Amino acid sequence: MSPRDAIVVKNTRVPGAGHAVDVLITGGRIERMSPAGTIRGEAGRTLDADGRWMLPGMWDHHVHFTQWVIRRQRVDLTTTSSAAEVLSVVQRSLRTDSRRLVGFGFRDGLWPDQPSLAALDAVSGDIPVALIAADLHCMWLNTAAQRLAGVQTDPSGVLREAASFAVMDRFGSVEDLTLADYVQTERAAAARGVVGVVDFENAENLTQWPQRWRGGVDLLRVRAAIWPQFLTEAISAGRRTGDVLTGGVTVGPLKVISDGSLNTRTAWCDEPYAGLDPADPQACGGPTVPPQQVRALMERATVAGIEVAIHAIGDRANAEVLDAFAATSAGGSVEHAQLLRREDAPRFAQLGVTASVQPEHAMDDRDVAEAYWPGRTHRAFPLARLRDAAVTLRFGSDAPVSPLDPWIQIAAAVIRSRDGRESWHPEQRLDRHTALAASTGGRTTLQEGDEADLILIEADPLSCPEDQLRSMPVALTLLAGRITHSTLV
Ligand SMILES: [Zn+2]
């Protein structure tokens, strides 16, 4: 490593500690940390941290990366409440994107005005514009988009139900994505301090990610998960969790979906959902993959040296999955762990199973949880209980379900409220130290010899005002000593 490749970060602070330090980075690692003013600038490129706080780089432990790339390309219409507002967002967005425009998230049920093809054409001209409703059941298309999709609507410009589903793929399918789209999405994540993701996209991740990395999509480390349909192939190729595939891409865990979800009342619970007939065989939700099959998959993976990541949301599903961990000695995580029996939190710790959780889901779902799990929500998203039982916690966004931004998860865990509402089950709030560690792979400070995956942020996350956590400005992100994001001049 030549001195040219060295970076000196001068005058940075460690959260919770008063004194400033200089950090010398060579060969992708932290070579030296010493009191501010003691490392000379000539050692390499110098960045003045100007007293900003240094943390280990952040991880998002649960993403569906390609789905997030697609979502990010769509103009956000979720906050609009009329056709006129949608039109003005479209008009604003077209100034920066002239290839075509796909919007997502309008809800036309309560609009005071009507969508019209002529009005949409008037703001968009020849650029194809396709606007997808939040529930996916209709699209508002301009004439250019209708031509592209080979359809024609009435004067409203709106295509509904089957007719809409039939052409939705024309406006943002996986095949349309370019490597540049992935790089842009990685850059946005790096700008929030992210250095790595665990990717649970339902795809052939072990072959796709190395190709992407070699094609220049290299701003994030990726642990590429294996879906059951690709397990045989992975095992016969001798892949083990942690193996480096290329660059920063490593083999991740086997992903198995053991139950459904809260919103669809399909997550597998001990008691019936409120509002469902208890005599209905689906009243408690149920398994997506039968427990015996989950166990067999866990066994096969474990024997082959592959960790597992098992989706379990309901309390029954979590209990079953913990039993399976005990029976198979598998290593890995439960993904979501949203509703837990009282006695199950300590079992995570006893079995060495990580709880991979998404605190922002608690904010999105608090009302639906109160409605469907009445009298049980003290056991829902029980982050403090898991911490108190000494369970290893990891945070993720489940992007595109919530945005790929670890500060949103940290804020949700620490405050357990959003939009000025009262804190939801405040006894389950997490302390900041635990929340940070869950977002950085377990450590909140760096030492000499560590890989130089690090960030500089504008405030001390252990003591800043709570409302600063969610939008924490990130000034610098380094991945193995390489700058992947910087606002420092
Ligand atoms: Zn997911």
**What's the mean pLDDT in 36-55?**
88
CATH for 59-65+178-443 is: 3.20.20.140
- Angstrom CA distances, 273 to 141, 159, 386, 406, stand at 39, 34, 24, 31
Instruction: Give 311 Cα–ligand 1 centroid separation in angstroms.
Output: 8
**CA–CA dist 339, 262 (Å, integer):** 10
**CA–CA dist 302, 308 (Å, integer):** 8
Closest of 257, 273, 360, 354 to residue 313, by C-alpha: 257
Instruction: Give 396 Cα–ligand 1 centroid separation in angstroms.
Output: 9
Q: Identify each DSSP E strand in 107-248 by its residue range.
A: 129-133, 138-141, 158-160, 194-199, 221-226, 244-246
Per-residue confidence (pLDDT) for residue 82, from 0 to 100: 96
pLDDT above 90 (res 189): yes
CB atoms < 10 A from the CB of 351, how many? 17
pLDDT in tens, 462-483: 999 999 999 999 999 999 999 9
Give 7's strand partners. Answer: 25, 45
- Topology agreement, domain 1-51+446-489 and domain 74-172: no
The mean predicted confidence, pLDDT, of the chain is 94
**CA–CA dist 444, 15 (Å, integer):** 8
Instruction: Give 309 Cα–ligand 1 centroid separation in angstroms.
Output: 11
pLDDT above 90 (res 355): yes
**CA–CA dist 275, 280 (Å, integer):** 11
CATH 3.10.310.70 fits 74-172, yes or no: yes
Instruction: Give 162 Cα–ligand 1 centroid separation in angstroms.
Output: 26
Q: What residue has token string 């410009």?
A: 157
**CA–CA dist 287, 258 (Å, integer):** 6
Instruction: Give 327 Cα–ligand 1 centroid separation in angstroms.
Output: 25
Q: Is 432 left (phi over 0), alpha (psi -120 to 50) or beta?
A: alpha
Total residues belonging to the chain: 489
Instruction: Give 149 Cα–ligand 1 centroid separation in angstroms.
Output: 30
Per-residue confidence (pLDDT) for residue 97, from 0 to 100: 53
Residue 149 host element (H or E): helix 143-149
**What's the mean pLDDT in 249-277?**
95
**What's the mean pLDDT in 26-40?**
92
**CA–CA dist 333, 307 (Å, integer):** 8
Q: What residue has token string 């005002």?
A: 465
pLDDT above 70 (res 98): no
Write the DSSP symbol of residue 171.
G
Half-sphere exposure of 356 (CA within 13 A, CB side): 25
Instruction: Give 399 Cα–ligand 1 centroid separation in angstroms.
Output: 7
Per-residue confidence (pLDDT) for residue 134, from 0 to 100: 80
CATH for 1-51+446-489 is: 2.30.40.10
pLDDT above 80 (res 236): yes
> In b/e form, how buried is each residue of 21-59, taking b as 16+ CB within 10 angstroms?
bbbbbbeebbbbbeebeebeeebbeebebeebbbbbbbb
Instruction: Give 204 Cα–ligand 1 centroid separation in angstroms.
Output: 16
* pTM of the full structure: 0.90
Instruction: Give 118 Cα–ligand 1 centroid separation in angstroms.
Output: 39
Interaxial angle between packed helices 117-124 and 83-94, expressed in degrees from 0 to 180 and rounded to the nearest 10: 20
pLDDT in tens, 331-354: 999 999 999 999 999 999 999 999
Residue 58 host element (H or E): strand 58-63
Write the DSSP symbol of residue 217.
-
Contact 377, 339 (CB under 8 A): no
Per-residue confidence (pLDDT) for residue 17, from 0 to 100: 77
**CA–CA dist 245, 250 (Å, integer):** 5
> Residue 68 burial by CB count (10 A; 0-12/13-18/19+): exposed, middle or buried?
buried
**What's the mean pLDDT in 250-258?**
97
What φ, ψ does residue 11 adopt, rounded to 5°? 60, 55
Tokens of 297: 């998959």
Instruction: Give 129 Cα–ligand 1 centroid separation in angstroms.
Output: 29
Instruction: Give 401 Cα–ligand 1 centroid separation in angstroms.
Output: 8
Tally of helices (H runs) and strands (E runs) in the chain: 16, 22
